[in-house]
Structure 1
Amino acid sequence: MSAAITLLLLGLALLGAPLFAVIAASALIGFQSSDIDLSVVLIEFYRLAEMPILLAIPLFTFSGYLLSESNAPRRLVHLTGALLGWMPGGLAVVSLVACAIFTAFTGASGVTIVALGALLYPALAQAGYNHRFSLGLITTSGSLGLLFAPSLPLILYGVIAQQLGVGGSITIDDLFLAGILPGLLMVAALSVWSMWVNRGQPLHGFAGTKIGKALREAMWELPLPFIVLGGIYSGYFAVSEAAAVTALYVLVVEVMIHREVRYSDLPRIIRESMVLVGGILVILGVSLASTNYLIDAEVPTRLFDAIREHIKDPLTFLMLLNVFLLILGMMLDIFSALVIMVPLLLPIALGYGINPLHLGIIFLANMQLGYFTPPVGMNLFIASYRFRVPVMQIYHATLPFFFILLLTVLIITYLPALSLYLPGRAGP
């Protein structure tokens, strides 16, 4: 592909052309210039449609949208508050845990800020928490949880890695396990810091009756993690089957038992959730076609050789990778970043001996941080709009959280055992 065409496509992307159109154009032009039949693009869509795991994406997305439309977020906050609210800085820890769980199911950090921010921000203010701390906490925790199952970005990374067919067998089950300890590290680090900063807050006594009431309220949502993880790792469900059971369970609970989502709302919720899924799948299909062209043209190999000339050891590569991914997280949404960059980065990382599971966790941990990295992290503007606060004030509020999570990203990067221990234990 000529440099002029490449610059033209980059210009169109910067001017706001749909991303799938730019990627598709690059693939079609590349195949045409190589005298390869353009039907290979359609074949990639067919290959994508044949993947059983693909069913999990729309089903988990629909479940997340249903949960966000109900009062499940309020019940989740009440439950975590009853269990953890008695600790120093307990309400801050409640906010972190509730947001992490909610983001794991919704997969979209902006949804978490909008849905839980309305509950948590007034509660934090009423409890006497510092205004700046509260803003930073909610903005940051809006992306916390992307490493926990059934996070849609985790599934998407697995789909892309499987389609590339490099680095051995990569399963969604292993990715779910790989994200647990790094995700817990991030939540724990922010929780410890929040407890220390707010150690002077008045404590509320441990109330068993309050816990009992919260458990009764959330009794129908409590089985969800056990359905997803327990069903998969006990061998009862495949990931796609667990997604189907989860979607049916959430539908029955929120529509028929709690009756918080009306039947008349279902078409709108289905439409909104499938618009997101459709966008992801279109970008994924054309990206896989583009990836085939790049592999045929040996672009990843040449890129690896060029990088290897200047970077000899894996540690330096990982450091530069973190910097690159942080910048990428500021500029692109996580789904676009995954489908565009994983096909290029995965072969290069394998050349440095980096495990594909570890790379996936590094990638998503950096993307999670990029959501609120100044100056253009998406969560900064969502929080500014949601709480009617100048964006510069949000910048300053998130800085302590940013540096704490940056430290955890470095630990995750340079301690691969954190990501690989549980998948290794689950192996044969």
Structure 2
Amino acid sequence: MSKGGLRRSGLEWFSSLPACLLLLAVVIFSTSSDIHNQMLRAGEYFWSGYYQLRMDPVEPTCNPNRDIDAAVAAEMAQAPAADDPMAALLGVEEKNPDDVRLAIERSVADCRETHLNYDGLKDKLTFGVKAYRTVELFVADLIAFGLTSQRYILVILVMLCAVTATLTRHHIAMRAMETRLDYLVSHSLQTVANLMLFGSSFIFRQSTLAAETRVTPEEMLLHNFWIIGFACLTLASLYRLLRVPDDLEQGGSLNKAFLSVPLYTVMCLISGTYFALIGHSSGIGIYLGKMMELADMFLNVGLYVWVGMMLKQTRLATLVFNVFRPWRMPPEMLAVVAVLVAAVPTAYTGASGIFVIAAGAVIYSELRAAGARRQLALAATAMSGSLGVVLRPCLLVVVIAYLNREVTTDELFGWGLWVFVLTATMFMIVALSVNRQSKIDLAPVNQALPAMLEALKPLVPYVLVIVAVVMFYRLALNVQMDEFSAPRLLPVIMLGILVYEHFRFKGESRHTAAESVDGKGLEKSLRGATNDTTAEIGALLLLLGLSVSIGGVIERSHLMETFPQSFDSAWSAMLLMVLILVVLGMIMDAFGAVILVTATVATIAYSSGIHPIHFWMVTLVAFELGYLSPPVALNHLLTRQVVGEAEVTLALQEKGTFYQRHERIIMPLIAMGISLLIVAFVPLLFYA
């Protein structure tokens, strides 16, 4: 069953509706914290001392009308006599009546003040305060529930979407399943891998119960969610294995069949086999559990994918490209513009792979509509997210600064701007000089500029929607658009755009970058976006989770300890760093790789004299080169995932020179490869 088949069956909401509700819950829970902060400020503004009124005041038990003389007499009566031998033996001094009276007077004064405060708070506790307090405390409880439920939401979302990706054959692999042999090999190994995941999670649960440490009900519930999820995933892959589609070709080769196995399956088989051989069968379950420590980050990944899929349902991308069409740019120049423009939203999605999944189909379709050849369009799409990962407010940079006290976000973003200028320049030079097949003959300014300004007019309502949402958060909730707030603002912005288009184009037929939409309204657009999101999240997050497991294999095998822990030459160290980081970029996702590099490679670089900021700039560029490098080339796999196997097949059938036939691979490698060499070694000339 393809994704389209799932749509035609009318059953997509069985996975998409729960996913939509979960993603909305994440946005609501994160926004409720901002709402609560403003409610506390408002409460203090309208009712001075509101923080004390949040709970009913407790009546003091002391007596404000206490007889001081009687109290002094009673205290002195209990004091030992001066000639008491026992008091002398114990060193007890005789009490001074004046000191006793002073202490009792102070105690009575404090008691009276406490009663006055109680009476004042009691008088302030009006019906309005109680009603406001009820709402405010409900929001506070909602926040507490949201914080504790993040891990459960993540597990449910991963498992729900992973099952959807399995049923829709949407996992990320080196090549698509074309023959029956491809299908049988792929789903057989998927079933084995899913059984490994189920078994490891179950063993991890049992070992946790057998440990001496106390297991909380919340932790046990999390274990049960993983086990149930992987059981469902195993049943889903077994179902697909037994239901072989009729439209597959006969025959096939075993070598190509293995390339059809999803990457998460390969990672699971490698890590599961390794952990089993060293007697640590719960290893995969343990490292998957580590995802929970960064649950908010992985949930943000899901939100970013959702934002991208909603973008596909709008006219926004087409209208942006319309702004540049009057200049009649050659395809190569338009590809450069597309990659440069894509850098800004990439910075808000946090990683290039996420952006390719979120907006790759939009960029590819618009470049093709503008006349770009398939190889060029595929190259630009794969590289569309590679330039913006060093720009503010990229989540990946925030994670680096969080894990490494040697650097700050301001320092990384400051130097990241220069790295962006370098990589953008390299891509522009390569695109416009190497294999440029079109003459640069731009339209005259007096023709292009008025048409460009005219094309900007339809974008004005979209800008107003964006500004309205951003200003609402800024003025009403005191939240500005930055790397921390972007995950919760962007979904609201896209929902606002969908609502605008629902009323603006209601009943009209409109063309989006994704497909022709017949104007059925907001529900269809949101359903279509979430339906695409479920499969993409399942494919991506499961891959990220198993990437963390591969990082565990590298960590447990002490592979990095085989390298010197420091180098006498920063140049030698940098050469090794570049090689290691590119390889890690080939086999791991960005966030998992950053965690592993922080724990291993970074310390070697620092001790070898490489400046921390320099090292992390090299790391980011090396990762991007790794994501574009065969044999895995994750960004190219994600590009194929979103544009379709048919487009890639047609691109491979195009004739021409070796470069022209492999432009989608070679062009990004040249641009990012040269950039990496410059970023890695040129700064060493100034401080090494």
With the shorter chain as reference, the TM-score category is 0.5 to 0.7
Q: Is the alpha carbon distance of 1:255 and 1:262 closer, same or farther for their aligned partners in structure 2, counting shifts above 3 Å?
A: same
- CA deviations over 1:344-384 (Å, ceiling 9, x no partner): 33333333344555444323323333344345535556387
Q: Which residue of 2 aligns with 1:109?
A: 356
TM-score, normalisation: structure 1: 0.67
1:245 matches 2:489: yes
Deviation at 1:253, TM superposition (A): 1.0
Paired residues of 2:319 and 2:455 also in contact (CA < 8 A) = yes
1:203 matches 2:203: no
Q: Which residue of 2 aligns with 1:4?
A: none
Question: What is the letter of the counterpart of residue 366 of structure 2?
Answer: L
Paired residues of 2:585 and 2:625 also in contact (CA < 8 A) = yes
Distance (Å, rounded) in 1 between the aligned partners of 2:541 and 2:339: 31
Q: Which residue of 2 aligns with 1:390?
A: 652
Paired residues of 1:284 and 1:339 also in contact (CA < 8 A) = no
Q: Is the alpha carbon distance of 1:190 and 1:280 closer, same or farther for their aligned partners in structure 2, counting shifts above 3 Å?
A: closer
Paired residues of 1:31 and 1:293 also in contact (CA < 8 A) = no
Distance (Å, rounded) in 2 between the aligned partners of 1:338 and 1:199: 40
Distance (Å, rounded) in 2 between the aligned partners of 1:284 and 1:184: 29
Structural mapping, 1:24-39, within 5 Å: none
Q: 1:217 aligns with which of 446, 458, 461?
A: 458
- CA deviations over 1:71-100 (Å, ceiling 9, x no partner): 222122222445x65699643433433444
1:270 matches 2:270: no
Q: 1:185 aligns with which of 415, 418, 422?
A: 422
Deviation at 1:168, TM superposition (A): 3.6
The more displaced of 106-115 and 73-82 is 106-115
Question: What is the letter of the counterpart of residue 483 of structure 2?
Answer: V
1:94 matches 2:337: yes
Q: Which residue of 1 aligns with 2:622?
A: 366
**What secondary structure is seen at the aligned counterpart in 1 of 2:370?**
helix
Paired residues of 2:335 and 2:380 also in contact (CA < 8 A) = no
Q: Which residue of 1 aligns with 2:675?
A: 408
Distance (Å, rounded) in 2 between the aligned partners of 1:389 and 1:283: 27
1:47 matches 2:293: yes
The more displaced of 344-353 and 246-255 is 344-353
Distance (Å, rounded) in 1 between the aligned partners of 2:283 and 2:579: 38
Q: 1:121 aligns with which of 344, 359, 368?
A: 368
List gaps (5 residues or longer) in structure 1.
1-8, 126-130, 418-428
Q: Is the alpha carbon distance of 1:368 and 1:47 closer, same or farther for their aligned partners in structure 2, counting shifts above 3 Å?
A: closer
Of structures 1 and 2, the one with the larger relative CO (CA 8 A, separation 6+) is 1
The more displaced of 199-208 and 266-275 is 266-275
Deviation at 1:321, TM superposition (A): 2.9
Distance (Å, rounded) in 2 between the aligned partners of 1:396 and 1:40: 41
Paired residues of 1:227 and 1:246 also in contact (CA < 8 A) = no
**What secondary structure is seen at the aligned counterpart in 2 of 1:248?**
helix
Distance (Å, rounded) in 2 between the aligned partners of 1:282 and 1:339: 17
1:302 matches 2:561: yes
Distance (Å, rounded) in 1 between the aligned partners of 2:430 and 2:283: 57
Paired residues of 1:27 and 1:290 also in contact (CA < 8 A) = no
Paired residues of 1:372 and 1:398 also in contact (CA < 8 A) = yes
Paired residues of 2:347 and 2:394 also in contact (CA < 8 A) = no
- CA deviations over 1:44-82 (Å, ceiling 9, x no partner): 455334x6x666433333222211332222122222445
List gaps (5 residues or longer) in structure 2.
1-192, 198-257, 506-511, 513-520
Question: What is the letter of the counterpart of residue 143 of structure 1?
Answer: M
- CA deviations over 1:171-194 (Å, ceiling 9, x no partner): 4x6655543321232222222444
Distance (Å, rounded) in 1 between the aligned partners of 2:492 and 2:411: 24
1:377 matches 2:633: yes
- Greater Rg over alpha carbons, structure: 2
Question: What is the letter of the counterpart of residue 406 of structure 1?
Answer: G
Question: What is the letter of the counterpart of residue 370 of structure 2?
Answer: A
Q: CA RMSD in A?
A: 5.0
Q: How many residues align?
A: 385
Question: What is the letter of the counterpart of residue 524 of structure 2?
Answer: S
Deviation at 1:245, TM superposition (A): 1.7
Distance (Å, rounded) in 2 between the aligned partners of 1:289 and 1:74: 40
1:399 matches 2:666: yes
